[in-house]
Amino acid sequence: MTFEDKPGSPNILGGGKKKRILSGMRPTGKMHLGNYYGALYNWLRLQEEYECHYFVADWHAITTEYENPRDIAGYIPEMVMDWLSVGLDPGKSTIFVQSAIPEHAELYLIFGMFTPVPWLERNPTYKDQIQELAHKDLATYGFLGYPVLQAADILMYKAHGVPVGVDQVPHVEMTREIARRFNNLYRPLFPEPEALLTEIPKLTGTDGRKMSKSYNNCIYLSDPPEVMAQKVRQMITDTQRPFKKDPGEPDRCLAFPFHRLNLPRERLEEITAECRRANLGCVDCKKLLAEALLENLAPVQERRRYYEAHPDEVKEVLLQGNRKAREEAQRTMAEVREVIGFNQKIQLVK
């Protein structure tokens, strides 16, 4: 499921030196199955082959949470604890927090000087979000400029590949345009990154809507086994199969995408046939799912318990990651300042 397995996906393997991957997530707290299968799973695979940077986009979170920015910081350790529990490895990947690297703000400011406002106004993700979050006033400068900050995140580390979901592709596109514009205006400095499209499985929450924290319908990686089993029992299956004696259709079943991610292929084929033949009822079928899910997540949950008992280790991971990221960011900013003639020599501060 990584980009290089898929025909037609960009081959960023070429070129000798180990290529760089960068991605970020806004801090939302505990990770749910949607976050896991939709993003983290891919991040994990990428760290085996590439030089990866994964970070917490806490400044980005203020764009929509500016009324309660104080809540954001508390979500960071919760989220990072889950990243580590699923297997993100600080020995392989640089894991850091955006706001610990103030250079991102400086690069964002400079990019903002030459990014045309119409590029931002045309951004389809911006238009969608404004509609979706109509209850919030998002007619702000910061929300419009969201992709400019994202471009600074990506270009700061000269990333080649950015694993994201389809909604973020316009932002990576804009990052390429910003890189191109910088390179043309001043001097070539930034590579143009590729979006590595993550195939996001259609996972619905317990109420049948998209799994999302704001709908309160999530199955969290850290849910205790009884809670997880209970939530699986509540999942909506094939609504056109009122009785067990009626044949079911896995393609209509909202639990089936979870089966697909958790059961081995032969088992999957078996239950598909049994469901269609009305031999396997939804209650039993979901029991199988709960067992498979709990088994698959057992090691993740065990690691999470470890980190819960050792929060200082999570903090240490971030301290180390921030230090490493900051060194790289300082190198890039020294180049940027040099290119635009704002280097040390002309600074008038002692």
Nearest approach in angstroms of CB 143 to ligand TRP is 12
Cβ distance to ligand TRP smaller for residue 154 or 235: 154
Nearest approach in angstroms of CB 252 to ligand TRP is 29
Q: 160 near 176, Cβ under 8 Å?
A: no
Span between the terminal Cα atoms of the chain, in Å: 53
Q: 56 near 16, Cβ under 8 Å?
A: no
Cβ distance to ligand TRP smaller for residue 160 or 231: 160
Q: 107 near 332, Cβ under 8 Å?
A: yes
Nearest approach in angstroms of CB 142 to ligand TRP is 13
Nearest approach in angstroms of CB 204 to ligand TRP is 19
- Please name which of 29, 339, 39 lies closest in space to residue 197, comparing C-alpha atoms: 39
Nearest approach in angstroms of CB 238 to ligand TRP is 32
- Please report whether residue 79 would count as binding ligand TRP according to CB under 6 A: no
For ligand TRP, the binding residue among 88, 162, 232, 329 (CB under 6 A) is 162
The position carrying tokens 């471009």 is 151
- Please report whether residue 26 would count as binding ligand TRP according to CB under 6 A: yes
Nearest approach in angstroms of CB 210 to ligand TRP is 14
What is the rounded distance in angstroms from the CA atom of residue 23 to the CA atom of residue 1?
17
- Please report whether residue 332 would count as binding ligand TRP according to CB under 6 A: no
Cβ distance to ligand TRP smaller for residue 61 or 232: 61
DSSP one-letter code for 21: E
Q: 289 near 232, Cβ under 8 Å?
A: yes
- Please report whether residue 150 would count as binding ligand TRP according to CB under 6 A: yes
Question: Taking contact as CB under 6 A, which single stretch among the options 136-144, 149-157, 217-225, 300-308 is the one that binds ligand TRP?
Answer: 149-157
Please state, in angstroms and as integers, the Cα–Cα distance from residue 66 to each residue in 22, 98, 107, following that order: 25, 17, 21
- Please report whether residue 23 would count as binding ligand TRP according to CB under 6 A: yes
Cβ distance to ligand TRP smaller for residue 221 or 254: 221
- Please report whether residue 28 would count as binding ligand TRP according to CB under 6 A: no
Cβ distance to ligand TRP smaller for residue 77 or 147: 147
- Please report whether residue 164 would count as binding ligand TRP according to CB under 6 A: yes
Sheet with 161-164: strands ordered across: 93-97, 51-56, 20-25, 161-164, 194-197
For ligand TRP, the binding residue among 19, 20, 53, 60 (CB under 6 A) is 60
DSSP one-letter code for 87: T
What is the rounded distance in angstroms from the CA atom of residue 236 to the CA atom of residue 19?
42
Structure tokens at 58: 């806490």
Please state, in angstroms and as integers, the Cα–Cα distance from residue 296 to each residue in 92, 152, 260, 290, following that order: 23, 37, 13, 10
Q: 145 near 59, Cβ under 8 Å?
A: no
Cβ distance to ligand TRP smaller for residue 61 or 275: 61
For ligand TRP, the binding residue among 62, 79, 110, 154 (CB under 6 A) is 154
**Would you tell me which residues interact with ligand TRP (CB under 6 A)?**
22-26, 57, 60, 150, 153-154, 162, 164, 168
